[in-house]
C-alpha cells in the first residue's frame, strides 16, 4: 500500500504590517496650541497668517468668486473656515481623520473628504496647498501635483503657500516647530519647477508676510513687496491650461 504524503498545513496569507495613522492624527488635538506657541515671536496668532492667505487669494481671484475652492491638506481647518466666509463653495481634503473631525466643527458649511479618489475632476476654480508641500517626501511631490492638476477646471488656479527658506527667522521657527521636524523646505525655484513639470502655466511668485506686529504700520505696503525675497513665506500660483 502506497503511503500518503503528509498533509501540509494550510498556508496563511502574509500578515500586513500595522498601518500607521497619518502623521497629523497624532498631533491634531494639540496642533492649535503648538501652532500658537510656534508663531508667538511674530506677535500674532495663527489666525493672522490664515487671514493673510485668504485675503491674498481673494485679491487674485476676485470676489465674489463663483467656482468651488478646495483646501488641500486642510488639517484642522485654520484656513478652511475663513475661506468659507468669503467663497460660496468650499471643500477640504486631508488624510487625517482626526484633523477632519476638528475642521468639520469649525467650518460646518464646508464639505470634507478623506479619500483623494472622491475629489471630483475638473471641478475646482481654485485649490490651495497652505504649507503642505514641505511635509511631502521629495519623491512624492511631483506625483502629488500631477494628481492635483486634473481636479482644477480649465483656467483654475493652484495656490502653493510655503515657508521662505531665504528668511533666517522662518528657518529658525521651522527648526523649533514640533510638527515640522521632518519638513524639507522648498525654495521658490523648486516650487516653480515642480509646477511646470505638472503642466501648470502662467506661473506667478510673490513673497508675503514681511512685518511683525510691532511694525504693523507698514503692512499696507506688503502687496507692493512681492518681488522682495525677504518675506517669511512665499506663494507660487499656477493655472491649469484653458
Indicate which CATH number applies to the domain containing 160: 3.40.50.150
Question: What pLDDT, on the 0 to 100 scale, is given for residue 170?
Answer: 82
Kindly report whether the peptide bond that precedes residue 64 is cis, defined as omega within 30 degrees of 0: yes
Please state, for a pLDDT cut of 70, what percent of the chain lies above it.
79
Domain range enclosing 100: 37-240
Q: Is residue 14 part of a domain?
A: no
Q: Of the given ranges (23-27, 103-107, 120-124, 174-178), which has the lowest mean pLDDT?
A: 23-27
Query: Taking residues 155-162, what's their average pLDDT?
Result: 98
Q: What is the mean pLDDT of residues 79-98?
A: 95
Q: What is the pLDDT, as a whole number, of residue 88?
A: 94
Residues in contact with 126: Cβ distance below 8 Å, sequence separation at least 6, in sequence order: 57, 61, 65, 67, 69, 70, 152, 156, 157, 158, 159
Classified as helix, coil or strand, 227 is coil
Q: Is the pLDDT of residue 73 over 90?
A: yes
Residue of 4 and 190 predicted with greater confidence: 190
Task: Domain count for the chain, please give it.
Answer: 1
Residue 31 domain-assigned?
no
Q: Is residue 76 part of a domain?
A: yes
Amino acid at each position: 500500500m502506497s503511503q500518503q504524503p503528509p498533509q501540509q498545513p494550510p498556508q496563511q496569507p502574509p500578515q500586513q504590517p500595522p498601518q500607521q495613522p497619518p502623521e497629523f492624527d497624532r498631533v491634531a488635538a494639540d496642533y492649535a496650541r503648538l501652532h500658537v506657541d510656534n508663531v508667538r515671536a511674530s506677535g500674532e496668532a495663527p489666525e493672522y497668517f490664515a487671514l493673510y492667505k485668504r485675503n491674498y487669494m481673494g485679491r487674485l481671484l476676485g470676489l465674489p468668486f463663483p467656482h468651488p475652492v478646495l483646501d488641500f491638506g486642510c488639517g484642522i481647518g485654520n484656513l478652511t473656515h475663513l475661506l468659507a466666509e468669503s467663497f460660496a463653495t468650499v471643500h477640504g481634503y486631508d488624510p487625517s481623520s482626526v484633523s477632519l473631525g476638528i475642521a468639520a466643527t469649525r467650518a460646518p458649511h464646508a464639505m470634507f473628504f478623506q479619500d483623494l479618489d472622491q475629489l471630483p475632476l475638473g471641478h475646482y476654480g481654485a485649490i490651495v496647498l497652505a504649507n503642505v508641500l514641505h511635509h511631502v517626501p521629495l519623491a512624492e511631490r511631483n506625483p502629488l501635483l500631477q494628481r492635483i492638476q486634473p481636479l482644477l477646471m480649465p483656467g483654475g488656479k493652484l495656490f502653493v503657500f510655503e515657508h521662505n527658506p531665504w528668511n533666517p527667522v522662518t528657518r529658525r521657527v521651522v527648526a523649533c516647530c514640533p510638527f515640522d521636524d521632518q519638513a524639507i523646505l522648498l525654495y521658490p525655484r523648486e516650487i516653480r519647477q515642480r509646477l511646470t513639470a505638472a503642466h501648470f502655466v502662467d506661473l506667478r511668485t510673490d513673497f508675503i508676510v514681511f512685518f511683525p506686529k510691532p511694525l504693523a504700520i507698514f503692512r499696507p505696503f506688503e502687496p507692493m513687496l512681492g518681488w522682495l525675497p525677504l518675506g517669511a513665506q512665499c506663494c507660487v500660483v499656477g493655472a491649469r491650461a484653458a
